[in-house]
Chains A and B, each alone.
Chain A
Amino acid sequence: EKWAATLPKFPPTSLALQHFDATYSVQLGQLWPSVRIALLSERKYGALLNTFSHDAVLEDLQAKGCRDFITDTDTEALPCLDPESVVGVEGESNDVPVKKSNADRHLKISPKIKCLVFPRGDITRFKPARPDTQRLLGYYLLDAASVLPCLALDIQEGHIVLDLCAAPGGKAVALLQTQAIGFLCLNDTSVSRTLRLKKVLHSYIPKELLTSKNLRITSSDGTKWGEIENNTFDRVLVDVPCTTDRHSVMEDDNNIFSKNRIGERRRLPQLQLELLLAGIEAACPGGEIMYSTCTLSHIQNQSVVEQAIHLAQENHGIILEVVDLRPLTHMFRKTFHFAPNLHLGEMVIPHLGANFGPIYMCKLRRLT
C-alpha cells in the first residue's frame, strides 16, 4: 500500500480544513489546535431520553455508567456577573447598542428533558436505540450540546412554538419532551428532510400528540415566514443551515466545501440572516428567539446576530435584547467546554475530553 497515491488532490474535507486553519486559528488563537484535533477525532454523543418510551432506558443507561448531564450540574454559585446591562456590540453595526438582559440569573430548566452522556474521557459508544412495545424508541442520539439551545429556549406551559428549520428533528424531539407546548409548528424547506422529520416524530412521539390540534408540519422557505405569520409565537427556534464544521472536515460526501457548492457556501450568512429575521418577525412581542448553528464561524454566528438585531430595528422597528446565557454555561461547564469571552451568545467548543459541539447559540427577546 502506497500512501501518496490513494489521495485525490483536493478533497472537500481538506479544503474545509484549510479554510478552518486560516480562519479559526485567528478566531480561537491558542485554543485552535485542541479544537482542531477534537473535530478530526471521533465525536461523543448524548442519548436524549424519550420520556414517552415505556422501557426502563434511564436505569439501563445509568447502569452502563451514563449520567444525565442536565441534572448532574455545577451547583457552585455563579461568581458576580458583569453588572452592566447594556454592552456595545463591536463590528459594523456599532450604532445599535445591544441590551443584555440581566434578569435571567435563575434558570428555569424543564425537568422533563434528560440527556445521558458517558463521563468525561470515557469513549464508550451508545448502542442504537430499540423500540418498546408501542414501537417508540428509547432515546435519540445527538450531539449532547445541541440540547442546550432547546433547554435555553425555556418552553413554558401552553407556549406556541415555531421550529423554523426543523429537520431531521432532534431538537423538535427535545422540545416535545417538555410536554408543555400548546402548539408546535415544524418547518423545513427540504421536502425529503421533512419526510425524515415525520418518520422521526413517529418513532418517538405517541400518535395522540401528533394531531393537527397540537402540531403542524410544513415545507416552506423559512425566509418567507414573516410574510405569512407575524407576531405569533412565544418561542422560535432558528437552527440554521451552516458549514457544519465537524461534517465538513470528516466526510467528503454531501460536503459544502466541494467545488460545485462554493456559491451556496458563500450565500450561507445571508440565508442565515434572513432566516433569523423571519424568526424574529414570527415571534410575538415579549417572545424569545433562539439562534443556533453547529459552526465555529464568527461570520455565521455573532455577525449574523448582530446584523439581525440591527436590521430588525431599522426595517421592522423591532427592539430586541440579548438574553444572558452565562447562568446556563456556568451550570453545564462540567460537561462542556465553552468558548471564553464571546461578546454575543455562547459556544460549545470541541475538546477531546468532552468531544461535543461545535454549537453556537444566542437568545434574543423581543421587547416590542
Chain B
Amino acid sequence: SLQSAGHISKVSHGSNKPVTELSLRTLVDMGFTEPQAEQLHEAVSTVRGASATKHALSTLTALFVLGYNTSSVQKLLLKCPELCTVKEPQLQQRISNLRKLGFVEGSLQRVVAHYPQILTVPVKKVNYVVLFLRERCLFTTMQITDILRDNPAIILEDLGQVEYKFQYVFFRMGIKQREMIKSRLFRFSLDEVRSRHCFLERRGLYQTPDKKGQTTTVNPKLDSILNVNQDTFLTAVAMASAEEYEIFQRLMAREWQEQEKEYDSIEAD
C-alpha cells in the first residue's frame, strides 16, 4: 500500500506544483484504465459544492492504503462520489473509529465497499447510533458490530423509526436481541416486518408470548419469516395464497396510514 501512495505523490505534470485537481490524466497515472477514469471523473464532478473534489486525491490515497485495487476504488466512488469531499484527517478519524468499534482488517474493507457512505458520517453521529443501540435497545458491543456490518445504513436512518421497529419486534413479537441479530432484522423495513408478522398473527399462526414468555402454539422463527422470498413465506410459513397477501398488504397500508393520522391529530390537540 505504501507503494501506491508513493506512486501518487509522484504525480505532477509539467509544473512542480502538487496536484490538487483531479484530472483524467491523474487518474490514468494512478492506474485506472481510460474508461474507468472517464467514468470516475464524471461521477466525481457531479458532486456539487465549490470545493467538491478538493479532497479527491487524499481520499483516493486513503482508499488505496486500505488495500483496495483500482476497480474496487472505482466501484466504491461511483456508489458514493461524495467521499471525495471528505477532508483527510476526518477520513482517517472515521476509519480508526470503525476499527475501534470492532471492524478488524477484512471486515472493515467489506463494510466500506458495501456501504461507502459510512465514511461520510461524522464520528460523533456514528457513536451516537452505537450508544443508542446499546442503551435504548440493550445490544452488546459485539451485537452492535454485527448490526453495523449487516446493515451499515442504520447510521443514517431515523432513530425514532429504528426504536419503533425494535420495540415492535421485542414487545409485539416477543423476540430477544440474539434472535434479532441472527435474522438480520435491521435489513428489513418496518413495513416488511409488520406485514409478515400481522399476516401470520391474524391467521392464527403467531402469538405474542405472555409475561412468562409462553405461547399456546409454537411461533415460527423470525429468521424463517424474514429471510425467505415471498413465495416461500406464503407456501411454507403462512400457508396462504398470493392474492390474500397482496390484498392484506393494501388493507394494512391503509390501516396504518389512518392510525398515523389519528395520532397526528391527537398530538395536534
Contact = CB atoms under 8 A, between A and B. Distances in A.
Interface of A: 1-4, 21, 25, 32-34, 36-37, 40-42, 121, 123, 351-353
Interface size class of B (residues with CB under 8 A): 20 to 34
Interface in B145-197: 164, 167-168, 171-172
Interface in B229-254: 239-240, 243-244, 246-248, 250-251, 254
Contacts of A42: 251, 254-255
B205 interface: yes
Contact of B247 (A2, A3, A123): A123
B250 A123 contact: yes
A40 B201 CA distance: 10
Interface of B: 164, 167-168, 171-172, 199, 202-205, 208, 239-240, 243-244, 246-248, 250-251, 254-255
Contact of A33 (B168, B240, B247, B254): B240
A276 B172 CA distance: 44
A123 B251 contact: yes
A34 B167 contact: no
Contact of B204 (A1, A3, A33, A121): A33
A36 B200 CA distance: 11
A25 B208 CA distance: 19
Given A34-B244, A37-B244, A3 B254 contact: no
A130 to B, nearest CB: 23
B20 to A, nearest CB: 52
Given A1-B167, A2-B171, A34 B203 contact: yes
Contact of A36 (B168, B203, B247): B203
Contacts of B203: 33-34, 36-37
4 tightest CB-CB pairs across the interface, nearest first? A3-B171, A33-B203, A37-B202, A40-B202
Nearest to B171: A3
Contacts of B172: 3
Contacts of A123: 247, 250-251, 254
- Which has the most chain B C-beta neighbours within 10 Å: A33, A37, A121? A37
Contacts of B246: 121
Contacts of A352: 243-244, 247-248, 251
B171 A34 contact: no
Contacts of B239: 33
11 contacts: A3-B208, A33-B203, A33-B239, A34-B240, A36-B202, A40-B202, A123-B247, A123-B250, A352-B243, A352-B247, A353-B244
A41 B167 contact: no
A32 B208 CA distance: 20
Q: Could you say which of A4, A121, A351 has the most chain B C-beta atoms within 10 Å of its C-beta?
A: A4
Contact of A37 (B168, B199, B254): B199
B261 to A, nearest CB: 15
A222 to B, nearest CB: 36
A25 B216 CA distance: 14
Contacts of A121: 243, 246-247
Nearest to A5: B171
A4 B248 CA distance: 24
Contacts of A3: 167-168, 171-172, 208
B195 to A, nearest CB: 12
Given A4-B208, A352-B247, 5 more contacts: A3-B208, A37-B203, A123-B247, A352-B248, A353-B243
A121 B243 CA distance: 8
B219 to A, nearest CB: 15
Q: Point out which of A32, A33, A121, A353 has the most chain B C-beta atoms below 10 A from its C-beta.
A: A33
A2 B204 contact: no
B197 to A, nearest CB: 12
A42 B247 CA distance: 11
B262 to A, nearest CB: 13
Contacts of A41: 202, 248, 251
A42 B259 CA distance: 14
A35 to B, nearest CB: 10
Q: Which of B164, B202, B255 has the most CB of A within 10 A?
A: B202
A32 B204 CA distance: 9
